[in-house]
Amino acid sequence: MHILGNPIRTAIVDDHDAIRFGFRGACEQRGFEVLAATETVSQLIEQVPAGQIDVAVLDLSLADGSQVDENVRKLLKHGAQVLVFSIADKKFQVQAALKAGAAALVRKSQSMDELLNAITLVADGLVVNNTETTAVIDADSDFKRDANLTVREREVLSLYASGFALKQVAHALKISPSTAKEHIDRVRHKYSGIGRPASTKTELLMRAIEDGILDDSAREL
């Protein structure tokens, strides 16, 4: 998690030398700290300890033949939020990346300033629901599948995704912290079961907004 006032710690995984070189220079001019620039996710994980990267920028298609959804999940597990930076010409890959938990998509046709601005938002814990990600979500019925949450699960999700800690959720709803956690675990399981994973709190916020449990202003909390 990025600490306010500290440089944003970034990394990039892209198999084009020019992209990695240009990204490093732009980040350093903006005051970001670039911890690694590698051709594969495995190389990045080997070079940088877990929990050190605030935002990892990932290309959709890498020369090692790896799958983008697996790459996104590996980076999330390594403690980094993921921003996809790609020509994004294959819709199914974009969908797979977003379903796996990528926070945003920025096309390589956009400016480097737009990429850096998106990195800043993602580092601050916001889901960047720009026109690129919205178009993919709207076109994909999987994102609209109903998780069939109970009334209590929706109440717990609403409070937890909006920023409450589990103990605060439990206090507000007059239930035990363990019960609150059980509800969140069931919510995660239900979303995962319909192809809409929500393994992080940011992803839970995204699902709550998508399903109308929270309004879009919750992104700014």
CATH number for 121: 3.40.50.2300
The percentage of the chain sitting over the pLDDT mark of 70, rounded to a whole number, equals 85
Same domain (yes/no): 130, 164: no
Q: Which of 2-16, 138-152, 157-171, 181-195 shows the lowest mean pLDDT across its residues?
A: 138-152
- Of 140, 164, 187, which one is at a domain's C-terminal end? 140
Residues 45, 126 within the same domain: yes
Q: Looking at the whole model, is its pTM more than 0.85?
A: no
Q: 21-25, 140-144, 177-181: which has the minimum mean pLDDT?
A: 140-144
Q: Is residue 4 part of a domain?
A: no
Q: Are residues 175 and 159 in the same domain?
A: yes
Specify the number of domains making up the chain.
2
User: Is 18 among the domain residues?
Assistant: yes
> Is residue 153 domain-shared with residue 203, that is, in the same domain?
yes
Determine which of 11-25, 31-45, 64-78, 183-197 has the lowest per-residue pLDDT on average: 183-197
Q: Do 121 and 36 lie in a common domain?
A: yes
pLDDT score recorded for residue 110? 83
SS3 84: strand
- Model confidence band, residue 96 (pLDDT cutoffs 50, 70, 90): confident
List b or e across 177-193, with b for residues whose CB sees 16 or more CB atoms inside 10 angstroms: eeebbebbebbbebbee
If you average pLDDT over residues 186-210, what whole number do you get? 85
- The tokens describing 30, both together, are 């903006």
Q: Given this model, what pLDDT does residue 75 score?
A: 97
> Looking up tokens 């051709």, which residue turns up?
39
| pLDDT reported for residue 94 | 80
Asked whether residue 210 carries a pLDDT value surpassing 90, the answer given is no
* Burial class of 134 by CB neighbour count within 10 A (0 to 12, 13 to 18, 19+): exposed
C-alpha span between 71 and 180 (Å, rounded): 31
**74 and 135 in a common domain:** yes
Domain boundary among 140, 170, 189: 140
Structural domain span for residue 186: 145-220
Domain membership of residue 125 (yes or no) is: yes
Within this chain, do residues 17 and 119 fall inside the same structural domain, yes or no? yes
- Average pLDDT over the chain reads 85
